[in-house]
Each structure stands twice: as C-alpha cells, then as structure tokens.
Amino acid sequence: MVYKKFIKRNGKTYGPYVYHSKRVNGKVVSEYRGPEEQKDPKKIWSILIVSILIISLGAILFFSNFKTSGNVVLNLEGSFNNGNLSNGKINLLLDEGESIPTDSVVSIENGGEVQNYSITDLVSEEEIKIINAPLTAKEEFPKISFQLGISVGTNSTVKNESSSSGRKTPTTPTENITKPTHIENVTKTIPENITETIPTTQ
C-alpha cells in the first residue's frame, strides 16, 4: 500500500513524502520511496500505445468515408414467385451531395443466377426525380441574352389653316415620334436540335 505523509514544523508544511507499506514476517513495515511517487513506465507506454491505436483507427474510418461512392439505398419493389423475383422495379436512393460513377455495375442475384447491369443501362435522365420535391430531370439548353427594344409607332398629322383672306396657307406636316419607352433584358432558352418540315410544291 502506498501513502503520502506531510510534516509540519514551525508553521511550515513539508512534503508530500511517499511511503510504501508491506508486511514482512507478520509485521507492517513502511518503506520511504522519496518526495514524489515514481510513475510506472509500463503504464505510460501502455496508455501511449492505446491512444495511438485509437487515433489511427479513427483516422482510417474518417478517410474511408470519403473514398466510398456506394452510399446508396437499394429499394426493390416487385412480385415474387416461389421466392424468385418475376418482375419488379429497382429504386436507387441517394442523399444530397452523393453520386454514383457512370461506370458502376449493378449485380442482381435471382434464384442463384447473377446478372450484371451497367448503371447507365438502368437509369435514364427522364427517370431521375428529387425526393419530396415536384421536380424531374430535364435537359438544359444554353441561355442566350439579348436586349429587346419596344417603341410606339409614329403619328403624322396635317393641319390646314385658312387665312382671313380666304387663301389657304401651305401646310407643314408635324410628326409626333415617341422614343423607345421601355427596354428590358430578355433571357430565352433556345433548343439545340430543331427539326422543321418544309412542304415542297410540285
């Protein structure tokens, strides 16, 4: 048994002094170990090794999550006949920020028979949907920006004035030309592939 002892002399405290008690021939003998308890080097090494192992394991698990690309939930819906899938639908569910490489292969085992399918053969752009959102995938065309000027047409008025002498004075046409009142930026999406059929006359 190890214990510490303090000595007070003239109002000052000295210590701690470490003693080790043990039984020798039926008597308890106290052995002085020094002013401080000596730390066991075996305990220090064991704590150091265990902490290094824990840190290494945590680093392996942390970096392995970045390399995995298969965090996909596979949902299989269909009808089974004698335990085998006769027909059905496969849903691949991805969380936000996750992706599947285009060269991925989906392996399906049905009744002991294994079939491999490329992910590009199973999924098309029209079948991609966002969960809990009324959006579906569509092809985007490049945007073209241009300015559209809208103006009002010209008004011409001719006035005939007669003098007091009864003669008609020459008239000069006056035009009210209005400048463009509004210019707006219009962004329009133009499809890339346009098929037009022109009838031919014979």
Are residues 114 and 82 part of one domain?
A: yes
Domain boundary among 108, 127, 146: 127
Q: How many Å apart are CA 95 and CA 69, to the nearest integer?
A: 12
- For the residues 140-150, what does the mean pLDDT come to? 68
Instruction: Say how many domains are in the chain.
Output: 3
Identify whether 139 is part of a domain: no
Q: What residue type is 105 in one-letter code?
A: V
Question: Which pLDDT does position 78 carry in this prediction?
Answer: 59
Are residues 49 and 21 part of one domain?
A: no
Identify whether 61 is part of a domain: yes
Identify whether 98 is part of a domain: yes
**In the predicted structure, residue 101 carries a pLDDT above the cut 70:** yes
Identify whether 48 is part of a domain: yes
Identify whether 189 is part of a domain: no
Confidence of residue 54 (pLDDT cuts 50, 70, 90): very high
Residue 55 phi, psi dihedral angles, 5° rounding: -65, -40
Q: Any idea which of 24-28, 75-79, 131-135, 189-193 has the lowest mean pLDDT?
A: 189-193
Question: Which pLDDT does position 36 carry in this prediction?
Answer: 66
Q: Which residue has the higher pLDDT, 154 or 42?
A: 42
Which pLDDT tens digit goes with each residue over 111-124? 677 778 787 776 66
- For the residues 67-77, what does the mean pLDDT come to? 52
**In the predicted structure, residue 135 carries a pLDDT above the cut 60:** no
- For the residues 119-135, what does the mean pLDDT come to? 60
Q: Which residue has the higher pLDDT, 133 or 162?
A: 133
- For the residues 168-178, what does the mean pLDDT come to? 51
Identify whether 14 is part of a domain: yes
Identify whether 77 is part of a domain: yes
Question: Which pLDDT does position 70 carry in this prediction?
Answer: 46
Mean pLDDT of the chain: 66
Are residues 63 and 18 part of one domain?
A: no
**In the predicted structure, residue 55 carries a pLDDT above the cut 90:** yes
Question: Which pLDDT does position 14 carry in this prediction?
Answer: 79
Q: What residue type is 15 in one-letter code?
A: G
Are residues 107 and 64 part of one domain?
A: no
Are residues 94 and 63 part of one domain?
A: no
Are residues 120 and 77 part of one domain?
A: yes
Confidence of residue 94 (pLDDT cuts 50, 70, 90): low
Task: Quickly list DSSP for the chain.
Answer: -EEEEEEEETTEEEEEEEEEEEEETTEEEEEEEESSPPPPHHHHHHHHHHHHHHHHHHHHHHHHHHH-----EEEEEEEEETTEEEEEEEEEE--TT----TT-EEEEEETTEEEEEEHHHH--GGG-B-TTSS-B--PPPPEEEEEEEE-PPPEEE----B-TTSPBPPP--EEE-PPP-EEEEEEEE--S------PPP-
Identify whether 133 is part of a domain: no
Q: Which residue has the higher pLDDT, 160 or 21?
A: 21
Are residues 122 and 77 part of one domain?
A: yes
- The domain in which residue 48 lies consists of 40-68
Question: Which pLDDT does position 163 carry in this prediction?
Answer: 45
Are residues 45 and 27 part of one domain?
A: no
Other beta carbons within 10 angstroms of residue 94's beta carbon come to 13
